[in-house]
Amino acid sequence: MARSDVHPVHRFERWQVWPGSFDNPPVDGNFPVPTDTGLKITQATPIASLGSCFAREIKRRLTQRGYNYVTEETHHPASIHASAAWERVYNTFCMRQIFEYTFEEWQPDLRWWIAPESRKVQDPYRRIILYDDLEAAEEDFERHQEHSRKALQDAEVLILTLGLTEIWQDRKDGSVISLPSGPYVNEGGNMDRYEFRVSRYSENLANLERIQAIMARHNPGCKLLITISPVNLWATFRKDLDVISASCNSKSTLRAVADEFVARHDNVFYFPAFEMATIYQPLSGLTQFADGRENYHVNKPTVKFIMRHFFKFYS
């Protein structure tokens, strides 16, 4: 127990008090959490995940440790990041659209991009997935929907890694594209129908509530584990804010959303990967950042630290 020096006297558990403050023990390599995290996972538990770049790290570590990680579409390059060929999913809007096209009728006004020069067919809603023609695109997406449905229905635990709040939204129907990139954009495709904007707290919370409602109908026994990606923005499309401040805004907004979302549902839990990387590692005198050109990513020791605690908390 930790004791305060102020009046009135309060007694706290160690994990309730900032490490190293007053006479509270300093950081020791063990991230402080309540004794009961409320979620238990065994190696036999079917676990699925999707989300930003950090979701790929979660998949890799679970697979290496022999956990029952749900995998579909293993033939598809886009499945390397998650349990199906969802590719990397950076915002809650694109995440919500996955659940809608998997279990419901989701038909955006403009379904495919056709690159002006190469004539490659590009999926605007999954990160740079390309086809030679529309027939191949439609066939592959139909198969993908089946695999997506199976992955989400087989999972007993679903990990959602939230990344950022910046979005590109269709002005006509409100659908959100993955990124303004790939051959369609590079070859001068018309992007006038899309508007860049920063999404806000209420919208992102509504997206997670929509996901929760869909899963409650199609896999009611599944538990959701929410985490915020500790990977910072490489660049911001904002003109009013620098990239470091924009990254902080994204993470802070999503962290507040996650807190409210977890508080609302008994089957939703939060894993503090973001806090481990951005606060606990610096308190330990360590850096979270990778070396080289992609220094906005977290380094391997930080990933190992985070995943060691994942297994410690839930296994």
Neighbouring-strand partners of residue 121:
114, 131
The predicted structure's pLDDT at residue 57: 85
pLDDT digits (tens, 9 = 90+) for 20-61: 998 888 999 999 988 888 899 999 999 999 998 778 888 999
**For residue 130, with 0-12 CB atoms within 10 Å meaning exposed, 13-18 middle and 19 or more buried, which class applies?**
middle
pTM higher than the cut 0.85: yes
The predicted structure's pLDDT at residue 281: 96
Is residue 14 pLDDT above 90, yes or no?
Answer: no
pLDDT digits (tens, 9 = 90+) for 88-129: 999 999 999 999 999 999 999 999 999 999 999 999 999 999
Mean pLDDT of the chain: 94
The predicted structure's pLDDT at residue 39: 94
Cβ atoms of residues 120 and 13 within 8 Å: no
Q: Percentage of the chain surpassing pLDDT 70? A: 97
Q: Residue 189: helix, strand or coil by DSSP?
A: coil
- The arrangement of secondary structure in 40-314, i.e. its CATH architecture, is 3-Layer(aba) Sandwich (3.40)
Those residues whose C-beta lies under 8 Å from the C-beta of residue 288, and which sit 6 or more positions away, are 230, 277, 278, 281, 282, 298, 299, 302
The predicted structure's pLDDT at residue 9: 75
| Mean predicted confidence (pLDDT) in 166-195 | 97
The predicted structure's pLDDT at residue 36: 83
Residue 108: asked if its preceding bond is cis (omega within 30°), the reply is no
Report d(CA 155, CA 69) in Å as an integer: 9
The predicted structure's pLDDT at residue 56: 83
The predicted structure's pLDDT at residue 10: 79
Q: Residue 94: helix, strand or coil by DSSP?
A: helix
pLDDT digits (tens, 9 = 90+) for 49-96: 999 877 888 899 999 999 999 999 999 999 999 999 999 999 999 999
